[in-house]
Amino acid sequence: MAAETTEDRQTDKQIFLSADLACRLAAIDIGSNSVRLLVAEALRGGAYRILDEEREPTRLGRSVSAKGQLDDESMERTITALRTFKQIAAGYQATSLRTIATCAVREARNGPEFCRRVREQVGLEVEVISGDREARLAFSSVQNAFDLSGKNAIVADIGGGSTEVVFATGNLIESIFSTPLGAVRLTEQFGLGEGATPETFQSGFARMEEEISLCLKKRTTRPLFAPHFLVGCGGTFTTLAELMMASKKEVDIPVAGYKVSHAEVRHLLDRLLKMPLRARRSMTGMTPDRADIILAGLSIVDALMKRFRVNTLIIHTRGVRDGLVREMIDDAVGTTIDDPAHRDAAIERLAAACSGELGHGRTVALLAGRIFEQLAASFDLVAGDRQLLECAARLQDVGYVINYDQHHKHSYHLIRNSRLPGIRAHDLELIANVARYHRGAHPKRKHENLARLSPEDQQRVQRMAAILRLAGGLDRSRSQQVRDVRVRLENNQVFVDVVADQEPLVDIWGAERRTDLFEKVFGQPITIQWAGGQEAVSSDNGKPARPRRKRRGSDATLGEG
């Protein structure tokens, strides 16, 4: 075997780099407390390496709570920082640069004016994101940093103007809450910054703790699962870790993944409360520009752990920017989202991870699609809804992963918060609603999830849910013995001829108990009967071999709305 030469090794290195190197990307996050830049080199498989990071504390949101708008000085500082960050990104030859803004710009009356100034003076388009999207980006970062398999996690992203909270089971988001609890906002609202006297400080701090507790009670629910840990994103959490490590004289320990107990959080907060601002600024581990807002930030952490009854906090050193860069990589080098095979594979993975009911889901999807197809012309159903219905059928039971009794409600949240390639956000909302109503109470306009939809979309959901309930009943036995259905409309009545090699008594009984929504939505009574094997359905007259009387019943008692 010939010896490898230096030239050979150099060629191999070039091949490796050309295979792995995709592009250079830059992400800017305009927060209420600071502006941050992340420049990264994207690699194959969604990974990346950091080329540069910058942070500039501009306190853009400092006057939003009191005055409802961004002040001129903060805007000027932010625009100057953005101009510098754009030049840094250009110096690294970034092929894509995205700029997002969060709470301060989102809430300020002059937020649009600020975005216009950035566009004209810096040449950057600012995307103002919602609290919900902010939470999703933070969670995307967390799930890439930690193994959440088999874990119930709460993710909190504390910023200057807001705190976003995510409940997750494994890698699936169950709920998202956005709250107006921010370290800068609370510090200013309760007078805890520069110039506070000891008396006003103590009374202000007590009122702030009460406000945080009340806000969390109003804006969030407690998780149905017992959380294993809380993962914290943002400067409050990294500063907390640095302070804890300094107090314990821990060296050469990474901040990422550092664990802190609830008792340690409270003890640190009590310790800092006794220190004047100047002393806090000089503490080892304290970022000087965070010293005035750290008490508000730690109070939020304390309240979160108390509210959600979680004792272990894990520090995450990344967050929204990391999630944005990963999203940019997906857009730049990811798979083709319009590929049906890729979409179906994602649906299958989600169903397999949560329900374990793959065979049942596939059968219900097949039967629901067949019923929809044969009703479409008579009831003027929307053609594209068949695909949405079949998707809802395959995912209807994903809520099992959280709780069986209310799994239809959990299915709604898990589907709505998932990322299924090739499915638009609005269609995903419809799919989630249809799955929500595959059992339990009928769709009602007072239900928050349904009320978000237009009247036309509400009707679409009702029709698809009615068909899904019927199809689900036809595999009540979970045996997949019903192979097909033939639907006939005669004399203002719907007949469903069930195709199975043996009479599926349990499945027909199951379907007959689920007809009330169908009859209400479509305005016609329905009769379900066994038609024998495939040959019976294929006959010319289409009449069933052994008609059966329809039993009355409802599945409405299975769950409340």
By C-alpha distance, which of 62, 538, 148, 161 is closest to 353?
148
The answer to whether residues 152 and 123 belong to one domain is no
Residue listed under structure tokens 């901040």: 255
**Cα(203)–Cα(209) distance, integer angstroms:** 10
The answer to whether residues 405 and 256 belong to one domain is no
- Determine, yes or no, domain membership for 428: yes
CATH number at residue 119: 3.30.420.40
The answer to whether residues 256 and 364 belong to one domain is no
The answer to whether residues 273 and 349 belong to one domain is no
Indicate the pTM of the whole model.
0.76
pLDDT at site 554? 40
Domain that includes residue 412, residue range: 340-558
pLDDT at site 414? 87
**Cα(392)–Cα(439) distance, integer angstroms:** 12
Q: Annotate 93-131 with b (16+ C-beta within 10 A) or e (fewer).
A: ebebbbbbbbbbbbbbebbeebbebbeeebebebebbeb
Answer yes or no: are the C-beta atoms of 140 and 169 closer than 8 Å.
no
The answer to whether residues 141 and 118 belong to one domain is no
pLDDT at site 535? 52
- Determine, yes or no, domain membership for 331: no
The answer to whether residues 158 and 280 belong to one domain is yes
The answer to whether residues 398 and 258 belong to one domain is no
- Other beta carbons less than 10 A from residue 279's beta carbon: 12
The residue out of 75, 109, 129 marking a domain boundary is 129
**Cα(89)–Cα(124) distance, integer angstroms:** 12
By C-alpha distance, which of 79, 107, 116, 99 is closest to 39?
99
By C-alpha distance, which of 411, 538, 546 is closest to 468?
411
Which pairing describes strands 163-169 and 259-261: parallel, antiparallel, or unpaired? unpaired
Q: Where are the alpha helices (DSSP H) in 396-483?
A: 407-416, 425-436, 448-451, 455-473
- Determine, yes or no, domain membership for 104: yes
- Determine, yes or no, domain membership for 489: yes
Q: What is the pLDDT of residues 472-530, one digit of tens each?
A: 999 999 999 999 999 999 999 999 999 999 999 999 999 999 999 999 999 999 999 99
Q: Which residues, other chains included, contact 439 with Cβ-Cβ below 8 Å and sequence gap of 6+?
A: 408, 469, 472, 555, 558, 559
Show the CA angle centred on residue 89, arms to residues 86 and 91, nearest 5°.
110
**Cα(368)–Cα(346) distance, integer angstroms:** 20
The answer to whether residues 208 and 267 belong to one domain is yes
The answer to whether residues 215 and 114 belong to one domain is no
- Determine, yes or no, domain membership for 329: no
Answer yes or no: are the C-beta atoms of 433 and 450 closer than 8 Å.
yes
Residue listed under structure tokens 């100034």: 117
Residues of the chain where predicted confidence (pLDDT) is lower than 50? 1-22, 335-337, 536-561
The answer to whether residues 258 and 355 belong to one domain is no
CATH number at residue 406: 1.10.3210.10
- Determine, yes or no, domain membership for 22: yes
pLDDT at site 399? 85
Q: What is the pLDDT of residues 517-550, one digit of tens each?
A: 999 999 999 999 998 875 544 443 444 444 444 4
pLDDT at site 358? 87
pLDDT at site 338? 53
- Determine, yes or no, domain membership for 550: yes
The residue out of 129, 150, 183 marking a domain boundary is 129
DSSP, collapsed to helix, strand or coil, labels residue 156 as strand
**Cα(185)–Cα(296) distance, integer angstroms:** 9
**Cα(410)–Cα(404) distance, integer angstroms:** 9
The residue out of 114, 129, 144 marking a domain boundary is 129
pLDDT at site 2? 40
The answer to whether residues 219 and 262 belong to one domain is yes
Longest C-alpha distance within the chain, in Å? 92
- Determine, yes or no, domain membership for 238: no
CATH number at residue 301: 3.30.420.150
pLDDT at site 5? 41
DSSP 221-272: ---SS--SEEEEESHHHHHHHHHHHHHTT--S--STT-EEEHHHHHHHHHHH
Q: What is the pLDDT of residues 231-288, one digit of tens each?
A: 999 999 999 999 999 999 998 899 999 999 999 999 999 999 999 999 999 999 999 8
Phi (first) and psi of residue 14, to 5 degrees: -65, -40
pLDDT at site 333? 58
The answer to whether residues 539 and 504 belong to one domain is yes
Number of domains in the chain: 3
DSSP, collapsed to helix, strand or coil, labels residue 558 as helix
Indicate the Cα dihedral angle 423, 424, 426, 430, nearest 10°: -10
